């Protein structure tokens, strides 16, 4: 094996790496999955400094003439791309769930803060502008939660073949929407907390982590534009096949 790969979450902690390797002709039909021992000769692992996510152990991997036994092949030779695609829905599902939870943390903490923080002699909750921010967050969070639970039901009731056909584009849209909702809630909770949102610790300690990690959930698993484009292409492909134009 020769090559490199970066953005490997938990790479600095890992004992083994599941790698997609070119073993055949160029393109998706020439990729195989290999299980590589972290101590193999020729492999170097470097930590990547990731903003606000140091605990992730993100790493950069270099493979220099690494000899991997054929017995470490996962699945069939040159059929690794299919395994990659099978994993995407679950990865994006995890990210959507995290975005939904962190968005709700922002909302919950904003409500509690608005009830106790006073400005101009009355609680923030009595200012209409603040209530409008809360309502906007509530609407977005509940819509996201409902969509998420609907997709969970589909994942639990569809067989594997049907899920691969029908859920992929929906999951992309949901991933895109979840990061938009999360970004919106992080922004609004920062506005509600005001100066206290800028402290490290203190009254804004619980929203601190949530606000700082927005980008860490928007990009992994597919950025918003990539997700939207894939969903649109899937819809157009299905329309060409099924619709009477």
- For residues 199 and 2, the model is more confident at 2
Q: For the residues of 174-219, what is the DSSP string, one character each?
A: HHHHHHHHHHHHHHHHHHHHGGGGSSSSGGGHHHHHHHHTHHHHHS
Question: Residues of CATH 1.20.140.10 domain(s) within the chain?
Answer: 84-242
Lowest mean pLDDT among 17-21, 72-76, 177-181, 206-210: 206-210
- So what's the pLDDT on residue 53? 64
Asked if 23 contacts 31 with a C-beta cutoff of 8 angstroms, the reply is yes
Q: Is 224 exposed, middle or buried (0-12, 13-18, 19+ CB in 10 A)?
A: middle
Strand 122-123 and strand 118-119: pairing? Answer: antiparallel
Average pLDDT over residues 212-239: 91
Q: How far apart are CA 67 and CA 11, in angstroms?
A: 20
Architecture label for domain 3-74: Beta Barrel (2.40)
- So what's the pLDDT on residue 51? 72
Q: How far apart are CA 130 and CA 113, in angstroms?
A: 11
Q: How far apart are CA 183 and CA 214, in angstroms?
A: 6
N residues, the chain: 245
Question: Residues of CATH 2.40.110.10 domain(s) within the chain?
Answer: 3-74
42-56, 90-104, 230-244 — which one is most confidently predicted on average?
A: 90-104
pLDDT in tens, 112-160: 999 999 999 999 999 999 999 999 999 999 999 999 999 999 999 998 7
Sheet order of strands, 73-74 included: 16-22, 31-37, 73-74
Count of other CB atoms within 10 angstroms of residue 33: 21
Q: How far apart are CA 8 and CA 204, in angstroms?
A: 31
37-51, 54-68, 122-136, 163-177 — which one is most confidently predicted on average?
A: 122-136
Superfamily of domain 84-242: Butyryl-CoA Dehydrogenase, subunit A, domain 3 (1.20.140.10)
pLDDT exceeding 70 applies to what percent of the chain?
98
User: In the chain, what's the furthest Cα-to-Cα distance?
Assistant: 73
């Amino acid at each position: 094996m020769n090559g490199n790969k970066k953005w490997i979450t938990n790479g600095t902690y890992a004992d083994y790496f599941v790698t997609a390797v070119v073993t055949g002709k160029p393109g998706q039909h020439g990729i195989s999955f290999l299980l590589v021992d972290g101590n193999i000769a020729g492999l170097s692992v470097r930590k990547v400094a990731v903003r606000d996510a140091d605990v992730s152990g993100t790493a950069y991997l270099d493979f220099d003439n690494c000899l991997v036994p054929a017995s470490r092949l996962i699945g069939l030779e040159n059929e690794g791309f299919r395994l990659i695609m099978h994993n995407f829905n679950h990865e994006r599902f995890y990210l959507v769930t995290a975005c939904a939870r962190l968005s709700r943390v922002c909302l919950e903490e904003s409500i509690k803060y608005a009830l106790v923080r006073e400005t101009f002699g009355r609680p923030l909750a009595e200012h209409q502008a603040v209530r409008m921010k809360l309502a906007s967050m509530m609407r977005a969070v509940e819509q996201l939660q409902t969509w998420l639970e609907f997709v969970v039901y589909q994942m639990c009731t569809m067989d594997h073949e049907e899920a691969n056909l029908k859920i992929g584009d929906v999951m992309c849209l949901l991933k895109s929407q979840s990061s938009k909702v999360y970004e919106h809630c992080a922004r609004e909770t920062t506005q509600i907390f005001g100066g206290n949102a800028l402290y490290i610790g203190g009254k804004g300690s619980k929203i601190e982590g949530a606000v700082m990690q927005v980008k860490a959930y928007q990009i992994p698993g597919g950025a918003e534009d990539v997700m939207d484009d894939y969903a649109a292409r899937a819809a157009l492909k299905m329309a060409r096949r099924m619709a009477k134009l």
